[in-house]
Structure 1
Amino acid sequence: MKKVFLICCLFLIVNKVLSQNTSFIYELKYRPNAEKQYYKDQLFYLDIYGKESIFRSQHERSADSLIQKTGFGLGFKMNYNHQYYTQKILTENKVYKIIVTPIFSDIYSIPIEDLAWKITNDKTKIGDFDCQKAELIYGGRSWTAWFTQEIVLQDGPYIFHGLPGMIIKITDERSDFVFSLVKIEKNMSQISPLRSKKEINWEIFRKLESDFYKDPYAEVKARNIGYVNANEKGEKINISMKKMTESMQKNIRDNNNAIELNHALKYDYQKI
């Protein structure tokens, strides 16, 4: 994806925009599989609504908008890895990672611990912004962030926040995850975040993830829900539940590079 850094133009309107609903658009370049060298690119919106901010993908944002209007969404990721939906209550320094279970889309939140930043004296220019370097250990990874005090918000992509200015770019030491600000725009309408979230901890999250890997369709079977498989032409095809389970497990293993390494599951290709 070609980066479109509009920062030189946006700098002139930042102070005006920050007093209104604002969206900071980040590009995330990430490596889905820790053992392979291919990367994916995806755009995320950090929407600022007064005292609250919401970080979510374009797809999740569209889904939230549809739910807000019709009560129905667009579906979510079919595994637990690479979920980056985040809510922050800025005035209370509270941050929550939002988890949506595959298939039935139950919604949970995990409170994120305070971040212990180390601000350095290193400085650089990114676009038209003067930035300063900060370092952080989070999720079993070492992170390097570049923030600017020219945007007064103490926020940034994903769970990252709390620096004396806006995070323009942040990456881990292996460059498995690189978040870069690419655009700022006025948000004309407020899109509500996901609601009805049950708060859990990392231990419960790991059990949810482990149970899903062992039997991805356990709830489908428990609820006695019928299912039909079809090809791209809409023609019915016969695939056994065993084959569907093996395919889902392979998908999970192929997307195993969790951003929180210290909470990542180890897949032995048989059971966990």
Structure 2
Amino acid sequence: MKRFLFILVITFSLNSYSQSVKDILKYRVVYELTYQPDSTDVNSKKSETIWLFTGGKGSLFLSERKALKDSLSQSMNISQIGSQDWKDKTAATKTDFDFKIYKNRDLDKIYHTEKIFQDGLYYIEKASEIKWKIEDDTKQIAGYPSQKATTSFAGRNFIAWFTSAIPIPDGPYKFSGLPGLILEVSDVENEYVFHFKGLSTSFDPIVKAFPPKLFGESSKEDFLKLKRQYQENPIKYINNYVGESGKKITISFNNGNDKNKYRKKRKVQLAKENNPIELE
């Protein structure tokens, strides 16, 4: 799989700013995330490589496959869709984490950005709502002296290990606010475990804009409701969707039997995806 190495220059275009703010993210932290999508089946565990770009006043968190997927969508043209090359590359970028998380420490804000079908949306949370308790326990992680911290977040209890040897108050996913980089974090059930794999600084610069163009702000409640509707019945969602042009897309089945097979398959699939990182 082709690797993409870069420094990200994030432009935060925020409502409270009359001008956009540029922030150079000097570090790429690589984590391996091991997770269990089905709480009833320990054998359902999977893993993905996760990237955290950080080092300035903010950061960007996304999966490696999400980055490759976005790159693929920009580089492939319509004539290539359906080709074997397109199928191979699409399969290689399949991810359970099809979102990006931006943090702005100055504003104490976390921005969760994600597309639901063709709509790009984001919602905002306060980073300071994650309250940490720093413990006395210490250990070495990849040669870094690390200290334990605990928190409760989104219905789970988490244990984190941070190092003051890297004085960046950031970490994977929505975790931040400790006096050093978070190298490991996991829930106490070990259903979501982030392991530190490395830190690098040599990238080619690119520019990203935030909020992304054409992305609209939503409340978290409305976003989750819309996402749930799409996940439970994507074909119904798409058939009811009206784009900006006013045009509709219609997906139909050859017969009622095919429709029933699809519904049963979707129901089984959703039953196995019952364990998101945020339970509430």
Q: TM (normalized to structure 2)?
A: 0.72
Select the residue among 180, 190, 197 that pairs with 2:206.
190
CA distance in 2, matches of 1:141, 1:164: 22
> Shift in Å at residue 125 of structure 1?
1.2
The change in CA–CA distance for 1:34 and 1:88 in structure 2 (over 3 A counts) is same
> For the Cα contact (< 8 Å) 1:46–1:157, is it kept in 2?
yes
SS of the residue aligned with 1:91? coil
> What's the counterpart of residue 29 of structure 1?
34
Asked if residue 121 in structure 1 is aligned to residue 142 in structure 2, the reply is no
Aligned equivalents of 2:271 and 2:209: distance in 1?
29
Give the whole-Å Cα distance in 2 for the aligned partners of 1:49 and 1:227: 49
Q: More deviation in 113-122 or 68-77?
A: 68-77
Could you tell me how far apart the structure 2 residues matched to 1:130 and 1:49 are? Answer: 19
Which whole-Å CA distance do the structure 2 matches of 1:163 and 1:214 have between them?
37
Question: Aligned equivalents of 2:189 and 2:249: distance in 1?
Answer: 44
Aligned partner (choices 229, 239, 245) of residue 263 of structure 2: 245
Distance in 2, matches of 1:193 and 1:246, equals 41
In structure 1, the partner of 2:177 is: 162
Q: Distance in 2 between the 1:208 and 1:248 partners?
A: 17
The 8 Å contact of residues 82 and 258 in structure 1, kept in 2 or not, is answered as no
Asked whether the 8 Å contact 2:55–2:168 carries over to 1, the reply is: no
Unaligned runs of at least 5 residues, structure 2:
1-23, 79-88, 241-247
Match of 2:222 in 1: 204
Specify which of 113, 120, 143 is matched with residue 107 of structure 1.
Answer: 120
Tell me which moved more, 131-140 or 198-207. Answer: 198-207
Give the superposed CA RMSD.
3.1
More strand by percentage: 2
Confirm or deny that 1:47 pairs with 2:43. Answer: no
Q: How far 1:201 sits from its partner (Å)?
A: 2.5
User: C-alpha deviations, 1:194-227, integer Å up to 9, x for none?
Assistant: 8233222232133213322442212332324357
Residue equivalent to 1:12? none
Structure 1 CA distance for aligned equivalents of residues 142 and 232 of structure 2? 47
Q: SS of the residue aligned with 1:221? A: helix
Percent pairwise identity: 27
Shift of 1:155: 0.5
Does the alignment pair 1:65 with 2:65?
Answer: no
Give the letter aligned to residue 119 of structure 1. I
Which ranges in structure 1 are unaligned for 5 or more consecutive residues? 1-18, 230-237, 263-272
Out of 196, 212, 225, the position equivalent to 2:250 is 225
For residues 156-195 of structure 1, give each alpha carbon's deviation from its aligned partner in whole angstroms, at most 9, with x where no partner exists.
0000001110000001010000001101122323363782
Q: What corresponds to 1:14 in structure 2? A: none
